[in-house]
Amino acid sequence: MRVLLSTIGSRGDVQPLVALASELTSRGQEVRLCVPPDFREWIESLGFPVTAIGPEVRRFAIARSPGSATPAPPSAEQRRQLAEATVATQFQTITTAAEGCDVIVAATALQVAARSVAEKMGISYVFAAYCPIVLPSPHHAPPPLPPVPGETAPATTDNRELWARDAERFTDLFGPALNSHRSSLGLPAVSNVRRHVFTDRPWLPADPTLAPWPDPGDDAVFQTGAWILPDERPLPREVDTFLDSGEPPIYFGFGSMRTPQDLGHVMVQTARALGRRAIVSRGWADLSLTDSEPDCLAIDEVNLQALFPRVAAVVHHGGAGTTTITAVAGAPQIVVPQVYDQHYFAQRVQALGIGIAHPPGTPTTDSLTNALQRCLQPEIAARARSIATAIRRDGSQTAAQRLITDAATLSRPQPPSPSSE
Tell me the residue type at 83: A
For residue 420, what pLDDT band results from cuts at 50, 70 and 90? very low
pLDDT digits (tens, 9 = 90+) for 163-203: 999 999 999 999 999 999 999 999 999 999 999 999 999 99
Q: Where residue 63 falls among pLDDT bands split at 50, 70, 90?
A: very low
**Same-domain pairing of 14 and 134:** yes
pLDDT of residue 150: 65
User: Is residue 62's pLDDT more than 80?
Assistant: no
My answer on whether 44 and 178 are in the same domain is yes
Give the helix, strand, coil percentages of the chain, each rounded to 5.
40, 15, 45
Read off the pLDDT band of 361 (50, 70, 90): confident
Are 330 and 372 in a shared domain?
yes
> Residues in the chain, how many?
421
pLDDT band at 78 (very low <50, low <70, confident <90, very high): confident
Considering the domain architecture, whether residues 180 and 259 belong to the same structural domain is answered as no
258 falls within a domain = yes
User: What pLDDT score does 277 carry?
Assistant: 96
Question: Is residue 68 predicted with pLDDT exceeding 80?
Answer: no
The total domain count for the chain is 2
pLDDT for residue 412: 55
384 and 400 housed in the same domain: no
Same structural domain, 84 and 204: yes
The dihedral through the CA atoms of 90, 40, 132, 74 has a sign that is negative
Do 248 and 294 fall into the same domain?
yes
Q: What is the DSSP string of 234-252?
A: PPPHHHHHHHHTSS--EEE
The pLDDT tens digits of the residues spanning 141-161 come to: 999 876 666 667 677 789 999
Torsion of CA 272, 275, 281, 285, to 10 degrees: -20
Tell me, yes or no, whether 291 lies in a domain.
Answer: yes
Its domain, for residue 273, covers 237-388
Q: Which residues are within 8 A (CB) of 5 and not within 5 positions of it... i.e. 6 or more apart?
A: 17, 20, 21, 31, 32, 33, 34, 105, 107
> Distances from the Cα of 7 to the Cαs of 170, 352, 395, in angstroms?
18, 30, 18
N- to C-terminal Cα separation, the chain: 29
- pLDDT class of 72 with cuts at 50, 70, 90: low
Partners of 137 in beta bridges = 140
User: Domain for residue 217, yes or no?
Assistant: yes
Give CA–CA dist 21/30, Å, rounded. Answer: 9
Domain with residue 350: its CATH number is 3.40.50.2000
Mark 190-219 as b/e (b = at least 16 C-beta within 10 Å): bbbbbbbbbbeebbbbbbbbbbebeeeeee
Q: Are residues 156 and 242 in the same domain?
A: no
60 confidence band (pLDDT: 50, 70, 90): low
How high is the pLDDT of residue 145?
77
**Mean local confidence (pLDDT), 87-113:** 95
Calculate the average pLDDT of the chain. 90
> Do 282 and 383 fall into the same domain?
yes
